[in-house]
Amino acid sequence: MNLNFTKISRSKIHEVILPIFKTTNKEPFDLISFQGMGFVIAPNVLITCWHCVDEPLKHDEQYSAVIVKEDGSDHTLVELINIEKDANGNDLATANHAYTPSEYLLKLATNDAAFGTEIWTYGFPLTTPELLPDGSKKFVAPPQFLKGYIVRNLTYNYEGYGEVKSYELDLLVPKGLSGAPLMILGDSIVIGVIYGSNEFATIEHISSVDPNTGKSEPEIQRII
């Protein structure tokens, strides 16, 4: 199925690409903390990053995915159960849930993508808590659509996870997008999962002179 944002509503996307929260497991449900993203890839199966769901839970807590209405007026909380870390030790996790989307939009690629392939991803990376006057808390979750291309295919030494086959992208992925699907542009084929950033160099961007010492003080800019 081709994915065209001029023809498909965000409500369809929000049924399969979901923000993940730590929540209370008693009525009324309450959002505790934003954890990252996940996506529905098969009936009742969600994929995310292990580091999004690896924090120990208290007795009254659970991990939940949230289906957001297109206009943001309402949402459905879906408990994630049977959370399991990838058997090969990668920063991946699977979980089961009881929600059935109206349409399964995403499918897994059968081959690696080449460098230069145009890609896209979607999620709620800049989700932040906001304290209300009555002392309650709500989460502001602006959706973001990002597109770019694969700069190179590499094996990255991911701390805590070892050597990981990865794609390096030309775009700077905002914090909080971990667990979102990486897809081929114009389609819904999932070729990977967003999991982190890699600072591979630093450069001197500009420098200024300290008036007290007379020494040049460089401003270091990180290349990620």
CATH number at residue 91: 2.40.10.120
The dihedrals phi and psi of 217, each to the nearest 5 degrees, come to: -110, 105
List per-residue pLDDT tens for the chain, 224 residues long: 445 554 556 778 888 999 999 999 877 778 899 999 999 999 899 999 999 999 999 999 999 999 876 655 568 899 999 999 999 889 999 999 998 888 878 999 999 999 999 999 999 998 988 888 887 778 888 889 999 999 999 888 888 888 889 999 988 888 899 999 999 998 889 999 998 876 654 445 455 566 666 666 665 544 44
Among candidates 145, 156, 128, which has minimal Cα distance to 185? 145
Residues 6+ apart with CB under 8 A from 8: 105
The answer as to whether 224 is a domain residue is no
- Tell me how crowded residue 188 is: count the other CB atoms within 10 A of its CB: 18
Distances in Å between the alpha carbon of 73 and those of 67, 70, 79, 195?
A: 11, 8, 20, 29
Answer whether 122's CB lies under 8 Å from 14's CB.
Answer: no
Q: How far apart are CA 75 and CA 190, in angstroms?
A: 25
Its domain, for residue 92, covers 1-197
Q: What is the pLDDT of residue 72?
A: 56
The answer as to whether 116 is a domain residue is yes
- Tell me how crowded residue 150 is: count the other CB atoms within 10 A of its CB: 21
- For the chain, the domain total comes to 1
The answer as to whether 96 is a domain residue is yes
Q: Give the CA-trace dihedral at 172, 175, 179, 181, to 10 degrees.
A: -30
Q: What are the start-end ranges of the H helices in the chain?
A: 10-13
Distances in Å between the alpha carbon of 69 and those of 10, 77, 89, 153?
A: 8, 11, 35, 36
The answer as to whether 211 is a domain residue is no
The answer as to whether 33 is a domain residue is yes
The answer as to whether 219 is a domain residue is no
Residues 6+ apart with CB under 8 A from 117: 149, 150, 184, 191
The answer as to whether 13 is a domain residue is yes
Answer whether 79's CB lies under 8 Å from 25's CB.
Answer: yes
Q: What is the pLDDT of residue 203?
A: 44
The answer as to whether 35 is a domain residue is yes
